[in-house]
Amino acid sequence: MSAAVREGWFGPFGGRFVAETLVPALEELERAYHEVVPSEAFQTEWRSWLASYVGRPTPLGRAERLRTHLPGVAHLLLKREDLNHTGAHKINNALGQVLLAKKMGKQRIIAETGAGQHGVATATACAVLGLPCEVYMGELDVARQAPNVARMRMLGARVVPVTSGSRTLKDAMNEAMRDWVTNVATTYYCVGSAAGPHPYPSLVRDLQRVIGDESRTQCLELLGRLPDAVVACVGGGSNAIGIFAAFLDDPSVALFGVEAAGHGIASGKHAATLTAGRVGVLHGSKSYVLCDDDGQIIEPHSISAGLDYPGVGPQHAALHDSGRATYLSATDDEALAAVRDVARKEGILIALETAHAFAALPRVADILRERGVREPAIVVSVSGRGDKDLSTLLEKLEVT
pLDDT of residue 170: 84
What is the per-residue pLDDT for 400? 57
The mean pLDDT values, 10 residues at a time, for the chain of 400 residues are 71 96 95 98 98 98 98 98 97 98 97 90 98 95 89 97 87 91 94 96 98 98 98 97 98 98 97 97 96 91 92 98 98 98 98 98 98 98 94 84
Contact 273, 259 (CB under 8 A): yes
Residues designated as active site:
90, 112, 383
pLDDT value of position 34: 98
Cβ-contact 190, 122 below 8 angstroms: yes
DSSP string, 62-88: E-HHHHTTSTT--EEEEEEGGGSTTSB
CA dihedral 82, 162, 165, 180 (to 10 degrees): -90
Residue 126 neighbours by CB under 8 Å, 6+ apart? 98, 109, 132, 133, 155, 156, 157
Q: Measured on CA atoms in the order 164, 169, 173, 176, is the torsion positive or negative?
A: positive
Q: Supply the pTM of this predicted model.
A: 0.96
What the chain holds in terms of domains, given with CATH numbers, is 9-50+90-200 (3.40.50.1100), 56-87+209-396 (3.40.50.1100)
What gap in Å lies between CA 263 and CA 271, rounded to an integer? Answer: 10
Beta strands 60-62 and 9-10: pairing type?
unpaired
pLDDT of residue 114: 85
- From CA 31, how far away is CA 373, in angstroms rounded? 44
Which alpha helices (DSSP H) does the chain contain, by range? 23-35, 40-49, 64-67, 90-103, 117-129, 139-144, 146-154, 169-182, 200-223, 238-244, 273-276, 314-322, 332-346, 352-359, 361-370, 390-396
> In sequence order, what are the residues at sequence separation of 6 or more whose Cβ sits closer than 8 angstroms to the Cβ of residue 293?
none
CB neighbours of residue 6 within 10 Å: 11
pLDDT of res. 42: 98
| Residue 245, helix vs strand vs coil | helix
